[in-house]
Amino acid sequence: TTRTWDYLGLSAANPKNLLNETNMGAQSIIGVIDTGVWPESEVFNDHGIGPVPSHWKGGCESGEAFNSSHCNKKLIGAKYFINGFLSENESFNSTESLDFISPRDLDGHGTHVSTIAGGSYVPNISYKGLAEGTVRGGASRARIAMYKVCWYLDDEDITSCSSADILKAMDEAMHDGVDVLSISLGSDVPMYGETDIRDGITTGAFHAVLKGITVVCAGGNSGPEAQTVTNTAPWIVTVAATTLDRSFATPITLGNNKVILGQAMYTGPEVGFTSLVYPENPGNSNANFSGTCEELSVNSNLTMVGKVVLCFTPSPYSASASSAARSVKKAGGLGVIIARQPGYAIRPCPDDFPCVAVDWELGTDILLYIRSSGLPVVKIKTSRTLIGQPVGTKVATFSSRGPNSIAAAILKPDIAAPGVSILAATTTNTTFNDQGFIMMSGTSMATPAISGVVALLKALHRDWSPAAIRSAIVTTAWRTDPFGEQIFAEGSPRKLADPFDYGGGLVNPEKAAKPGLVYDLGLEDYVLYMCSAGYNESSISQLVGKATICSNPKLSILDFNLPSITIPNLKDEVTLTRTLTNVGPLDSVYRVVVEPPLGFQVTVEPKTLVFNSQTKRVSFKVRISTTHKINTGYYFGSLTWSDSVHNVTIHVSVRTQILQNYYDEN
């Protein structure tokens, strides 16, 4: 967070921006459902924060190492929910467990995400000199209410969150008066149940949204494979993770004076020129050799002792780096260079052991140098923080991708935000923390960034529905980085990002504050969605608390008023409807600009939308047809309504299925 908000254009120095217009979200309450909170952290200071908003009905619950007096005008709520977890984990010993049976955070994750959403300003923070700056939340005067539902299971060394506990937390949060719910949790894919409503978070979120509470959830860390995005209900804001324009460049100087900039969080002393080795059989040995990062332990100590070791791995995950560092250190080596696919999960190695990541291309350069040199040597310098251009923005490898595996016509994720190497508060006993601050990566970290923006928007537009807020964020998002450069989606190979990587794009808070028009949704729309998704009328009636009759024939799911158009199975042509609500100047005229996906015709009627004091909502029809004759993959285009001040843009994603329900492999 020492970079996130300046990168997204929310600088406190600008007196007329969203941050200052909303008094930094002082009247908004962000409910965080997570691992708890470390209340002593400076990010929860309430300096200069006014009285608790009058709509707050919650409170703080005492427990192990946590008193209600730990709360203040910043941290206004702290509760814990453990009954579901206890009922399913009878071996859990609450007396002996490391975890605190209270809202206090053991893991640090809850404290971290709370900081990102609504932490107070804390200047001069860094991780051992890296990423130095002021830590702060997106809505730095918003109030935080923590609902602890995730518990450390000592036997299995995992942290787990029961849906029964999560639902109770959501139920309480609705009573307490939160404005936003930030949920950096998710299940695994394939998703549970045959329909999306049969999921704890989805169910709770439905009722929260109907009460005007925006629910923001992590899209998951199962990327870059397609159809891995989770928390996909159409009333949830689902978040993808990008990098910042920041990296931790680590100079590697080879004996031939070539300097390569790797990536690491190495904060130890410089490793002067040292022998460099790639473990491979010289051709005259019976010993075992392996240059694969996960298999370095098969090499004899003699191969690696006193040297820096180069290894290769196809894995983008940090576990490979940790494993390599462990093996080299154990053998008496002095450092390791890991050639890998970019995974955007750079971490420090234990005990500040020098471990530097490079890509396969640079790794191969180093290997060629080793093979061509009689006495290869290398020098590794301490990592330094690189900010701004030329560091580009990427959708992180791990960020889960669409299409939505439950309902392909509902575009997910909705939006992207920075979620890689984010410096924020944690507990003071977490590994790799520096004075209570730590770098973490995940869609967990991107989620509260969106929650912070929502808290600001909510402060500015108290009457906007969660769907209107979502629409404002999605239709105004950057399709490039804030400097106008293309966003790439990491994977193998790297490609230009598309809506299945980042939804509407990278959140642009300033633009989201004044979207001009919004694609709004209300109870009737959600009912239509559930009818089209096949729920029976009695279930829907019970769900919404009033008698419901689905229209006959049922409306198409394509007509659901989302800020996106996704057609997963176009055969000939289709016509769908969208409705726009004017939230800008009363008398406005918008004209349409269409960029059709390749091989598709997109016709919009009418081509001009006129709003005035009598006309706040206007519908339009979109007809899409194709000239493709085969079952295609997805093509992407866009549809923008513009009054020359506001550009209200949605993505159009279309796939043909001339042969329907066909598994396309030949």
Partner 1 sequence: IVERKVHIVYLGEKQHDDPEFVTESHHQMLWSLLGSKEDAHESLVYSYRHGFSGFAAKLTKSQAKKIADVPEVVHVIPDSFYKLK
Q: Where on the chain is the footprint of partner 1 (CB under 8 A)?
A: 34-35, 81, 83-84, 87-88, 107, 109, 150, 158-168, 170-175, 184-188, 192-193, 197-201, 203-204, 207-208, 211, 218, 220-221, 442-444, 447, 538-539, 542-546
Q: Helix 443-460 to helix 109-118 angle, to the nearest 10 degrees?
A: 30
In this structure, what token pair is assigned to residue 335? 């450092």
Distance CA 389, CA 663 (A): 43
Asked about 155 being catalytic, the answer comes back as no
* Number of CB atoms found within 10 A of residue 336's CB: 28
Cβ atoms of 249 and 131 closer than 8 Å: no
3-state secondary structure of 4: helix
Q: Residue 524: CB partners within 8 Å, gap ≥ 6? A: none
Q: What are phi and psi of 151, to 5 degrees?
A: -130, 145
Cβ atoms of 118 and 139 closer than 8 Å: yes
Asked about 34 being catalytic, the answer comes back as yes
As measured in angstroms, the least distance from the Cβ of 161 to partner 1 is: 4
Toward partner 1, which CB reaches closer, 538 or 615? 538
Detail the DSSP E strand segments found in 28-90: 29-34, 75-80
In this structure, what token pair is assigned to residue 389? 């251009």
Distance CA 167, CA 182 (A): 13
Choose the catalytic residue: 70, 109, 112, 646.
109
Toward partner 1, which CB reaches closer, 42 or 172? 172
As measured in angstroms, the least distance from the Cβ of 92 to partner 1 is: 13
As measured in angstroms, the least distance from the Cβ of 200 to partner 1 is: 7
Taking CA atoms, 397 is separated from 318, 394, 422, 486, 628, in Å, by 12, 8, 16, 16, 31
3-state secondary structure of 388: coil
For residue 165, give the nearest of 144, 142, 178, 183 by alpha carbon. Answer: 183
What sign does the dihedral 424-428-429-433 (CA atoms) show?
positive
Asked about 196 being catalytic, the answer comes back as no
As measured in angstroms, the least distance from the Cβ of 186 to partner 1 is: 5
Toward partner 1, which CB reaches closer, 232 or 471? 232
Residue type, 79: K
Q: Is 435 left (phi over 0), alpha (psi -120 to 50) or beta?
A: left
Toward partner 1, which CB reaches closer, 150 or 346? 150
Toward partner 1, which CB reaches closer, 83 or 94? 83
Cβ atoms of 120 and 42 closer than 8 Å: yes
Choose the catalytic residue: 120, 162, 444, 653.
444
Cβ atoms of 54 and 27 closer than 8 Å: no
Distance CA 39, CA 41 (A): 5
Toward partner 1, which CB reaches closer, 28 or 444? 444
As measured in angstroms, the least distance from the Cβ of 218 to partner 1 is: 4
Query: If you search the block for the tokens 């923005």, which residue do you land on?
Result: 393
Longest CA–CA span in the chain (Å) reads 88
As measured in angstroms, the least distance from the Cβ of 57 to partner 1 is: 10
For residue 468, give the nearest of 404, 526, 410, 522 by alpha carbon. Answer: 522
Toward partner 1, which CB reaches closer, 166 or 308? 166
Cβ atoms of 38 and 426 closer than 8 Å: yes
Toward partner 1, which CB reaches closer, 200 or 452? 200
Toward partner 1, which CB reaches closer, 200 or 503? 200
Distance CA 3, CA 130 (A): 12
Choose the catalytic residue: 6, 28, 34, 471.
34
Toward partner 1, which CB reaches closer, 18 or 201? 201
Toward partner 1, which CB reaches closer, 85 or 369? 85
* 122 beta partners: 135
Taking CA atoms, 111 is separated from 75, 82, 440, in Å, by 11, 18, 11
Cβ atoms of 229 and 401 closer than 8 Å: yes
As measured in angstroms, the least distance from the Cβ of 210 to partner 1 is: 8
In this structure, what token pair is assigned to residue 323? 């494993």
Q: Residue 157: CB partners within 8 Å, gap ≥ 6? A: none
Q: Helix 200-210 to helix 163-176 angle, to the nearest 10 degrees?
A: 10
For residue 199, give the nearest of 172, 231, 244 by alpha carbon. Answer: 231
Toward partner 1, which CB reaches closer, 99 or 199? 199
Taking CA atoms, 406 is separated from 35, 234, 526, in Å, by 28, 11, 16
Cβ atoms of 370 and 278 closer than 8 Å: yes
3-state secondary structure of 214: strand
Taking CA atoms, 540 is separated from 299, 328, 550, 563, in Å, by 63, 60, 9, 24
Which active-site residues does the annotation give?
34, 109, 444
